[in-house]
């Protein structure tokens, strides 16, 4: 798994995931090239080689094999109008050249893993052949985003954020949604759940990880993580024991 502040590439076990709802632009494909199945928002199952899911869209993904390749792109960092056409869709998409590219990169990154850092790699250039365009953001919203990304576990409230950038509570909530496409609550909840990815190889109890990632207790932690990833935290950690993590 390769994690940056703006992107994630995961190659590993899918697990028996129930419905999930993640906060990034998501791309799924099988390492072997076999078809995947997806159900979006409780609708009918659909099949295809490559699946795309916009941020916070509930979905369930299945594969005949145990492994999955998954890209996540944080929405606050990219201009949605400048994304590749297939990334602006939802469900099965036809982009065979991109699917082949991702599989080839998986092999390249797997070979590099364990013998070098990923610092020399540029995520967007590798996967998309170019830098994805940045999303223009109001400076006040950008300041709040940077604060949350720097410490997702901090108990920062919307009221505190609004006051810190000189906005009323209601104006701040409206502006945040307008600029990012996400509500403040959904954004903060996703960033907290996303931070779990940096802890999957830690030798710590679930309670310790819950507290480190900003959850008040293990019950709240388990419920929130399952809503996001469709898996219990214990299953995520168990499935990550042999995972190489690059940050």
Q: How far apart are CA 219 and CA 8, in angstroms?
A: 26
* Cβ-contact 246, 2 below 8 angstroms: yes
Q: How far apart are CA 103 and CA 107, in angstroms?
A: 7
Q: Which of 100, 128, 156 is the last residue of a domain?
A: 128
* Cβ-contact 77, 29 below 8 angstroms: no
SS3 135: coil
Q: Which pLDDT tens digit goes with each residue over 4-54?
A: 989 999 999 998 879 999 999 999 999 999 999 999 999 999 999 999 999
Do 63 and 92 lie in a common domain?
Answer: yes
pTM of the model: 0.93
Q: Which of 95, 128, 161 is the last residue of a domain?
A: 128
Do 14 and 117 lie in a common domain?
Answer: yes
Do 224 and 245 lie in a common domain?
Answer: yes
Q: Where are the beta strands (DSSP E) in 54-115?
A: 59-63, 67-73, 91-93
Residue 76 sits in a domain of what CATH number? 2.60.120.10
* Cβ-contact 243, 236 below 8 angstroms: no
In the predicted structure, residue 64 carries a pLDDT above the cut 90: no
Q: Which of 96, 128, 160 is the last residue of a domain?
A: 128
Count of domains in the chain? 2
Do 124 and 141 lie in a common domain?
Answer: no
| Predicted pLDDT of residue 123 | 96
Residue 162 sits in a domain of what CATH number? 1.10.10.60
Q: How far apart are CA 229 and CA 53, in angstroms?
A: 13
**Domain range enclosing 75:** 2-128
Greatest distance between any 2 Cα atoms in the chain: 52
Q: How far apart are CA 94 and CA 231, in angstroms?
A: 28
The tokens describing 19, both together, are 């419905």
Q: Which pLDDT tens digit goes with each residue over 83-129?
A: 999 999 999 999 999 999 999 999 999 999 888 889 889 999 999 99
């Amino acid at each position: 798994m390769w994690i940056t502040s703006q992107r994630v590439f995961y190659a590993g076990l899918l697990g028996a995931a129930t419905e999930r709802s993640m906060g990034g632009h998501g791309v799924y494909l099988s390492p072997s090239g076999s078809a995947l199945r997806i159900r979006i928002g409780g609708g009918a199952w659909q099949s295809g080689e490559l699946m795309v899911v916009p941020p916070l869209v509930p979905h369930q993904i299945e594969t005949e094999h145990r492994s999955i390749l998954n890209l996540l792109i944080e929405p606050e960092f990219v201009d949605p109008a400048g994304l590749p056409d297939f990334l602006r869709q939802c469900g099965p998409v036809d982009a065979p050249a991109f699917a082949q590219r991702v599989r080839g990169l998986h092999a390249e990154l797997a070979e590099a893993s364990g013998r070098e850092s990923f610092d020399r790699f540029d995520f967007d250039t590798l996967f998309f052949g170019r830098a994805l365009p940045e999303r223009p953001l109001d400076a006040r919203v950008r300041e709040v985003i940077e604060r949350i990304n720097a410490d997702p576990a901090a108990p920062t409230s919307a009221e505190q954020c609004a006051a810190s950038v000189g906005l009323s509570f209601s104006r701040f909530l409206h502006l945040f949604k307008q600029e990012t496409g996400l509500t403040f609550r959904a954004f903060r909840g996703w960033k907290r759940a996303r931070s779990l990815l940096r802890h999957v190889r830690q030798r710590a109890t679930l309670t310790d990880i819950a507290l480190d990632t900003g959850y008040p207790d293990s019950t709240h932690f388990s419920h929130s993580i399952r809503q996001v990833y469709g898996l219990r935290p214990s299953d995520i950690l168990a499935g990550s024991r042999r995972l190489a993590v690059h940050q």
